Amino acid sequence: MTPRVRLWERFDAMHIRYRWASPADYSELGEVMFRAVRYGPSLYSDAQRAAWVAEPRQGEEWNARLAKQDIALAQWDENITGFMSLEAEGYIDFVYILAEHQGTGLFRKLFGMIHAHARTQGATQLWTHASLMARPAFAAMGFDIAEKENIALNGQNFERFKMHMVL
């Protein structure tokens, strides 16, 4: 009997390339966000996930939002598998990793890039609004919960956490 191998166990971590995003990546980042939210493991309902990301983000508004951020990404076989973004004043806005690459160390590596970059920019803290899924990963990096939040988005209510870390 052949042992069952999860998809993410088949990739070779040595072939993951980490780099900073450029505007040419923005459309694919929208697709990664969509796939991570809609098809990855989640503690949110299907209705909440559809309200959160109804379709892949793209277009002028999306591009303008990303242009104001520094975005670390992971790429495997020419495909972006995850990304993390940093806005001014140490705010981590986006963190999305495709389901098949979760649990492989991508979050830790992307966070390392963001953390080092924030320090070189003179940031004194990092902070984020973490989803139910992201909260444990941020906690493992040393973030503390500042407050639990409940927000409404597109007719759905979401629980999330404002988290921060002093640099």
Nearest residue to 108 via CA among 66, 133, 132, 74: 74
User: For the domain 7-123, what is the CATH code?
Assistant: 3.40.630.30
Mean pLDDT of 144-158: 96
The pLDDT of 56-79, averaged and rounded, is: 96
pTM, to two decimals: 0.90
**Under DSSP, is residue 167 helix (H, G, I), strand (E, B) or coil?**
coil
Helix (H), strand (E) at residue 91: strand 91-97
What is the average pLDDT across 137-151?
97
Q: How does 112-145 read in b/e, with b if 16+ C-beta sit within 10 Å?
A: ebbbeebeeeebeebbbebbebbbebbeebebee
pLDDT grade for 106, boundaries at 50, 70 and 90: very high
On the question of pLDDT at 4 being above 60, the answer is no
- Where is pLDDT greater, at 37 or 12? 37
Banded model confidence at residue 25, pLDDT cuts 50, 70, 90: very high
pLDDT of residue 110: 98
Place of tokens 């139910």: 132
Contacts of 8 (CB under 8 A, 6+ apart): 100, 101, 102, 103, 104
Q: Which residues on neighbouring strands pair with residue 75, listed in sequence order? A: 17, 80
φ, ψ dihedrals at 20, nearest 5°:
-90, 140
- pLDDT 10s digits, 69-80: 999 999 998 899
